[in-house]
Structures are given as C-alpha cells and as structure tokens.
Amino acid sequence: MSLEPIRFDGVSSVGAGRNGVLGLFSTLLLGGSRIVTNVVLGRLGGPELLGLVQNVLSTATLATLFLPTSAGSAASKYVAFYRAREDVESAKAVTKFIGARTFQATVVLLVIVTAIGLYVGPADPAIAWVTGLLVVSMCSQTFIRGVHYGTGQVSRLVKWDVLASLGSLVTVVVLVLAGVRNVWVLVPLAAITLIFVLVSWPRGRVPIAREAIRREIDRFMLLGIVGTVSSSGFLQSSILVATATNGLHYSGQYAAALTLTTPVTLIASAIALALFPAMAGDHGRNDLLALNRRTNNATRILITVMIAMFGSISILAEPLTMLVWGREFENTSQILILLLLAVVLITVAVPSVNFLTTQSNRGMAVSAFSSLLGFAVGASTWVFLGGTAPGYSVPAGYLLGAMIISGAPYVLVWRRQRQHWFVQTMVLLGALASVLTITFSVRAADLPDWGLLIAAALFLVVWCAVRSRDVKQIARLLVDLLGRRGA
C-alpha cells in the first residue's frame, strides 16, 4: 500500500470496465462494513441508537453536498479530461484549484454545523463535536476519491478502502460490545478516514489553472451543489424528517430499511464513479458515438441488475428484515419496498445523468433542475401526508420525488440522443409492476419463508431468461476483467 500522495503521471490506464469492477469492489467493501456496523448498532443498541447514529451521519453527509461532493465529481471529470489529452500539468492545476475550493468549503461547513449542533441541536454537546469531525473527514474524502478516479488509480483506492473498512468496523464493534451506546462510536470512522485523506492529498508545486477553466469549474460545482443537494440531499433530509415527525424509534427503522437498500445504492455509486471519467474522456476526444454507446450499454446492464435485486429483496423483505434486525423493527419491511423502488429508478438513470453532466454546464443545469423539482414534490408530500399517514409519508414522498429526479434526465437523453429505449423502458415498467404484484400476492398468501425463497428464485430465473443477452454480456465482462492482472 502506497503512503505517497496521488500521482498524475506514469499511471497505467485501465479500461472503464475494469475500473467499474474495482470501483464496485471498493464501494461494496465500504458499504458492507457500513451494513455490518448498522446491524451491530441496531441489534445491540436498538432502533434508538441506530436512529441517533444515522441522524449524525446524515447531517455530516448533507454538509458534504454543499460543494465537496461536487468537487469530487469535478476532480473526476476534469482530471480525466486532461489525462485523456495527455496534459499532466493541467490535470495537476485543476486538482490544486478544486482541492483549495474543497478546503474553503469544509472550514465554512465545519463552523456552521458545529455551531448549530451546540446552540440549536440536542442538549448533548458531544453530538455537535463528533458531527463536526465527520464533516471534516467526509468532505475531504469525497474530493480525494474523485481524484483517484480521475487519475485512474482505483486499485490504490481499493487498498486504502480495505484498511479503512476493516479498521473502522473492528473499532466500532469493540466499542459497542464494551457498552458504548452514544455518538462516540463514530469517532473511529472519522479518524481513519482523515488518515487516508492526509496521506493521499496531492502535494508539491504545481501550475495555477487558467482563469477560464477556473470559472468553468466553479460553474460546474455550483450547478452540482443544486443537483446533489436536491437528489442526495433529498435522501438525507428524509432521515431527518423521519426523526422530526416520528421520533428516534421510527428513524431507526427507517435507517434499517435504508441499510437493506445499500447493496443497490453501492452499485449505482460504483458505476457512476467509474463511468464518469470514461465519459469525460470520450467527451475530451469528441467521440460522441462512443459516448452514446457507453450510455446505452450501462443503462441496459443497470436495468438487468437492478430489477434482479429489486425483485429478490422485495419478495424476501419480511424474512430478511426479521433475520437481520429482529422483532423491534416491525415496520422496516413496509418502508423497505418504497425506498427500494425509489433507489432502483434513480440508479437506472445514472448513465443518463452522467451523459448530461459530461457534455456541458447546460447538462448540469438540466440535471439540477430535475433534482430540485423532485425534492419539491417529495417535500410537499411529506407536508400533505404527515398528518394523516406519518408512517408512510416520508418514504412515499421520497418515491414520488425520485420518479421526477430520475425520469427527466432519462427521457431527455432518450429523445435527444435518439436512443432505442422504448422496448427496454416498457420492459422496465412491466418488471417493476410484476415485482410489486408478486410481492403483495405472496404476502397475502402468507407463504412460509421457504415458499418466499422459491418465489424469489423463480423470479430470478424468469428475469435472467428475459434478459439473457445482457446476462451473457455481464458474465463475459466479469470473466474478462477477473482474468486480468490488477492495475
């Protein structure tokens, strides 16, 4: 494992497919440790502790959306863009500029979040201090991860993720088993993340980016703030709203449902991070044909994978919830289906969103507007249903907002780029309807757990047969990539 800063030259370039697999492994590793950590917290501390921890993490995550997350995307895009043109000095220059913006934003966000936590938030000041520490670690980490993807050093990122995931998981489990039932269980996660950031942060004298590119990057990040706050911020806000309207016990169950959707969201994150630099490279080479082909292939693969996961998890929602969380989480399975459907819709639109954002700042504006509109619709649903159906208002509002956030970019790319997506869109909608019908039918029939397993298996067999061409493509890709040497 390298203890040197990120390199910009002499790095072997690997294909987007291999980066996708490495990125998938990295995010699965991080998500897997997060799932195990949440399960330990929920099993030993109950819904209240899980709800508290998730609220702190959501607050810190919300803070990262006010520029640092967009800075990570900018680093991924612009560094890959200049590396595709073999302009290493410009790649270093934009990295330095984006890093400076990240540092500035992190300082401001730290002050704001800590002040709110101390003077407006809960009575326990430890919550404010730990949240502030997480803000610093998470804001800086998003930038560093973007630079890794932009420079093609995904294998280096994976090695650090292994260390960070195992280290934070072990320390959190030890603390919980030792009787810690408060926010201090999150300190190891923040500390290990900061070590990774400090080791990886680019250093040395580099040129200053041209004024024109600085203005372009600033516009990209400002538009990104609107988009990420409205999309990712929508999800994090839903957790805080769930707590405000229903208390920590419900919030813990909501967090438990979100945890079970983690495998789906991880795939979306991995594909987005690996696909974005590849698309930026296509754009840098003015290869629109390759860009369209990459968008189409990624969308088809995502539909195939997402429906398979949605169907199996939805059908097995009740026994899965009981197995993972226990009897205290009685409402989690109902929340899970609504959240999972929303996550699937957003994930399928990831290639379309990436297509728009790699083309121009106008594409960023379109994506940001759709996200803002979706957030507004979802928040309105929380207000209108909060009094009559508080247990379902938050996940239902998130689902309605997700339909708009994902639908607008998908349809726009479909029509403007003349993608042949009519048949696959009908298949997607039909598959979603079929999964919901099967799920509610097996619940009404009150099948035993083994019956639900059979139903889920039959669904997977039928779906793989329907998408046999894409299943073969996925299999060939995995066999090819796993047969190569690591980068």
DSSP labels, 384-453: HHHTT-HHHHHHHHHHHHHHHHHHHHHHHHHHHTT---HHHHHHHHHHHHHHHHHHHHHHHTT--HHHHH
Q: Which two tokens stand for residue 53?
A: 């921890």
- Does 97 or 24 have the greater pLDDT score? 97
What Å distances lie between residue 42 and 50, 121, 166, 253, 334, CA to CA? 5, 23, 19, 9, 18
In a domain, 256, yes or no: yes
Predicted pLDDT at 376: 93
- Does 284 or 230 have the greater pLDDT score? 230
In a domain, 329, yes or no: yes
In a domain, 7, yes or no: no
Predicted pLDDT at 326: 87
Predicted pLDDT at 189: 87
In a domain, 11, yes or no: no
Predicted pLDDT at 23: 59
Mean pLDDT across 295-322: 90
Predicted pLDDT at 136: 96
pLDDT of 10 strictly over 60: no
In a domain, 4, yes or no: no
Q: Which two tokens stand for residue 127?
A: 């919550």
Instruction: Round to whole Å and give the CA distance between 114 and 363.
Output: 34
pLDDT digits (tens, 9 = 90+) for 317-354: 999 999 999 888 888 998 999 999 999 998 898 888 87
pLDDT digits (tens, 9 = 90+) for 371-407: 889 999 999 999 998 777 788 899 999 999 999 999 9
Range(s) of the domain holding residue 62: 16-482
Mean pLDDT across 341-369: 81
Residue 85 is classified by DSSP as T
How many folded domains does the chain comprise?
1
Instruction: Round to whole Å and give the CA distance between 487 and 159.
Output: 12
In a domain, 5, yes or no: no
pLDDT of 251 strictly over 60: yes
Instruction: Round to whole Å and give the CA distance between 467 and 452.
Output: 22
Q: How confident is the model at residue 485 (pLDDT cuts 50, 70, 90)?
A: very low
Instruction: Round to whole Å and give the CA distance between 273 and 105.
Output: 22
Q: State if pTM tops 0.85.
A: no
Q: How confident is the model at residue 474 (pLDDT cuts 50, 70, 90)?
A: confident
In a domain, 9, yes or no: no
Q: How confident is the model at residue 360 (pLDDT cuts 50, 70, 90)?
A: low
